[in-house]
Structure 1
Amino acid sequence: MNRAMERIRGAVRAEAEAEAAHVVAEAREGLRGLLEEARVQEERKALAEIEAERLRLSQEAFREVSRSRRDARLALLAARNRVIDGIFSAAREEALRIPPGRYRGILAAWLATVDAPRGGEVVPAERDAALVGELVREANASRPAEAAFTMSGARAPFESGFVVRTAQYVVERSLDGWLEERKREMAPRLERELFGGGDGGAD
């Protein structure tokens, strides 16, 4: 009887130990699966973070290069503009020093080109007031009474030339205005001749 009970207890114990070993094995396998899944997820997360950082740095570098190129283009354009402005500034200074006889002829030609069949009020620059007054008197000598010019007591807001105010419009004949027109016309050609055209490879 005692031996039979011992055998039963041994069998139960062995079965329990086997079941426990099986449970432990399953638990270990499950744990290994969880660890592997966690490793894969963390690896994916790390790779995603690395890729995001690489993309950020790439975009930042692209923006920096684009910014540098833009700044270089703007600096080059500013330098070119300073050169062209310097050319016309020097031309202006030279024009202000031309001989009186030649200067008088220029103002007379400017006045003659004003289309004012009904006349108009002439507003001279301060330095040209006396000379423009003479030219107006000379012009009126050959113009019909209804087309005569009158001299204004006001002064134009520039250094050289005059303004003619008519009933329909205002005509400016000034050295600064003339130079500005020439600058608009000549700047593209000056760009090509001085700098070879294009943008100088600042892209």
Structure 2
Amino acid sequence: LQDIFIAGMDTNTCTTEWAMAELLRNPSKMVVAKKELKDVLGNKTHMEESDTSKLPYLQAIVKETLRLHPAGPLLAPRQASVDVEINGYVIPKDAHILVNVWAMGRNDGVWEDPESFVPERFLNTKIDLKGQNFELIPFGSGRRRCLGMPLALRVVPLVLAAMIHNVDWELESGTLPDEIDMNDEYKLSLHKLVPLKAIP
């Protein structure tokens, strides 16, 4: 149980840092997010979980962040229970399979302009994060999907909303948005290689 909580803290922290890095790198997206939060929350200083459904742009930011920067870029290994052929590839029974959700999120055969942070791509779609839409499965799918998904889908929007709504962020002096280092490094989860430095 302790491992689940530790993994949940690390992955949720990484996802929030990636989202903030993308928003600071794309200031026009930050403006839209701040406006949506102001319109919905008004003078409240924090978001309630029940507010999430009224914040489609915030939800789109979370989806787009998980598309580009999934906390677990490789899903937990699976094992084929039978021989199967998929798109001409034969996967023999008992083969170990790793699903690369990082690569799936950057597949230009699925996503238009896949390297760009575009939360708007999720505003008029039914794509969710629960494993039913196979183009976006940062938590996996089926019975073996990530146990931390319900926690992440509650914590990340709440923390992100508080950071966006209550603080006007700026980059370190002399740093331009397109100079933010977006390289990643795989540890327990997908971290920014160079931690984000921003000033509240």
TM-score bracket for the superposition, by shorter chain length: under 0.3
Task: Decide which structure has greater helix share.
Answer: 1
Name which one, 1 or 2, has greater alpha-carbon Rg.
1
